[in-house]
């Protein structure tokens, strides 16, 4: 389940131009490293991540030729790459209208920018986080002017079309989440990601009140099956940009 979107993205990456490194941008613990290595041939495979802990785990795979600690917002590669591959990272960064052309600007002629990002902000799993927080704690949460980091597919198609051939698609993965001992399985899924910025602004008692309301709202939006498991649709946006050679 974890690797599937990365492999779906990689399956759409065309043949790489001859010169240039392969960059795993936001490589994390190197989960995609083995598959990227297979596609890299004799090219160098470089990993970049902002987290020293993640890089330490990526290092133990022994797959990368070099690993760099850096923030995508400021890092740039040592030489024009053949492929920049970024799986489940760039949704953390703002201003995609400037970011994506900047990443494309790194590429060697004929180079490829391949990106996958979760695009779940409009689904009940994530909308209910905002609704519940704003309703229970209006002094701290106002999402009336909130904008998601990830835009609609057509935004990326229009933005990148002047740079080369662009392939944009969205896939909804229907996952079955196992029952959990307390609360709703989807809350256990979101609490380490999308829920974290909200929980950080709450006291322990407030967090408990929030969780109770969010769990109840989730149960209405995503009723559990008789065994306690839940079907959870999760949308991901993909694009592959190939520069002219
Ligand atoms: C969900 S993990 C994905 C890791 C890897 N790409 C994979 O598919 O297994 C997201 C990674 O992005 C990294 N990350 C988040 N924001 C970043 C940034 N601004 N610059 C560099 N890395 C970042 C995190 O440290 C984390 O390792």
Q: pLDDT tens digits for 192-229?
A: 989 999 999 999 999 999 999 999 999 999 999 999 99
C-alpha 139 to ligand 1 mean position (Å): 32
Residue of 145, 93, 96, 90 lying closest to 118 (CA atoms): 90
User: Who has greater pLDDT, 208 or 1?
Assistant: 208
pLDDT tens sequence across 172-183: 999 999 999 999
pLDDT band for position 245 (50/70/90)? confident
Q: What percentage of the chain carries pLDDT values higher than 90? A: 97
- Bridge partners for 83 per DSSP: 22, 112
pLDDT exceeds 90 at position 17: no
92 lines ligand 1 (CB under 6 A): yes
- Asked if 68 and 27 touch (Cβ cutoff 8 Å), the reply is no
Q: Is the CB of 93 under 6 A from ligand 1?
A: yes
The first and second tokens of residue 140, run together, are: 């701290």
Q: Whose CA is closest to atom 1 on ligand 1? A: 88
Q: With 80 as the cut, is the pLDDT of residue 1 above it?
A: no
Nearest CA to ligand 1 atom 4: 28
d(CA 120, CA 154): 16
Query: Is the pTM for the entire model greater than 0.85?
Result: yes
Q: Is the CB of 73 under 6 A from ligand 1?
A: yes
Residue 60 near residue 54, CB atoms below 8 Å: no
- CA separation, residue 175 to residues 34, 79, 158, 185, 234 (Å): 24, 39, 31, 11, 7
Q: Answer whether 50 contacts ligand 1 (Cβ < 6 A).
A: yes
Give residue 98's pLDDT.
98
Three-state DSSP state, 17: coil
Instruction: Tell me the pLDDT of the chain averaged across its residues.
Output: 96
Ligand 1: distance of its center to the CA of 49 in Å? 6
The reply to whether ligand 1 has any atom less than 6 angstroms from the CB of 36 is no
> What is the mean predicted confidence (pLDDT) over 107-116?
97
- pLDDT value at 33 more than 80: yes
Half-sphere exposure of 198 (CA within 13 A, CB side): 30
59-107 tens-digit pLDDT:
999 999 999 999 999 999 999 999 999 999 999 999 999 999 999 999 9
Mutate which of 3, 50, 74, 236 for ligand 1? The one with the most ligand atoms within 8 Å of its CB, which is 50
Q: Does the C-beta of 6 come closer than 6 Å to ligand 1? A: yes
What atom of ligand 1 comes closest to residue 92's alpha carbon?
A: 16
pLDDT at 2: 79
Q: What is the pLDDT of residue 21?
A: 98
């Amino acid at each position: 389940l974890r690797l599937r979107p990365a492999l779906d993205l990689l399956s759409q990456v065309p043949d790489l131009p001859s010169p240039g490194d392969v960059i795993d941008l936001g490589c994390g613990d190197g989960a995609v490293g083995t598959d990227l290595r297979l596609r890299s041939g004799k090219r160098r495979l470089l990993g970049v991540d902002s987290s020293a802990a993640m890089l330490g785990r990526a290092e133990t795979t022994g797959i990368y030729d070099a690993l760099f600690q850096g923030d995508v917002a400021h890092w740039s590669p040592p030489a024009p790459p053949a492929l920049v591959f970024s799986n489940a990272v760039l949704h953390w960064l703002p201003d995609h209208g400037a970011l994506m052309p900047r990443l494309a600007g790194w590429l060697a002629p004929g180079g490829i920018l391949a990106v996958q990002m979760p695009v779940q902000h409009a689904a009940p799993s994530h909308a209910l986080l905002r609704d519940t927080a704003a309703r229970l704690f209006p002094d701290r949460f106002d999402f009336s002017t909130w904008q998601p980091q990830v835009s609609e597919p057509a935004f990326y198609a229009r933005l990148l079309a002047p740079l080369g051939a662009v392939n944009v698609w969205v896939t909804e993965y229907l996952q079955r989440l196992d029952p959990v001992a307390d609360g709703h399985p989807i809350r256990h899924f979101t609490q380490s990601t999308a829920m974290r910025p909200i929980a950080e602004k709450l006291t322990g008692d407030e967090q408990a009140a929030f969780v109770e309301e969010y769990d109840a709202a989730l149960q209405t939006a995503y009723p559990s099956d008789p065994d306690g498991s839940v079907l959870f649709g999760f949308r991901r946006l993909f694009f592959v940009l190939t520069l002219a050679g």
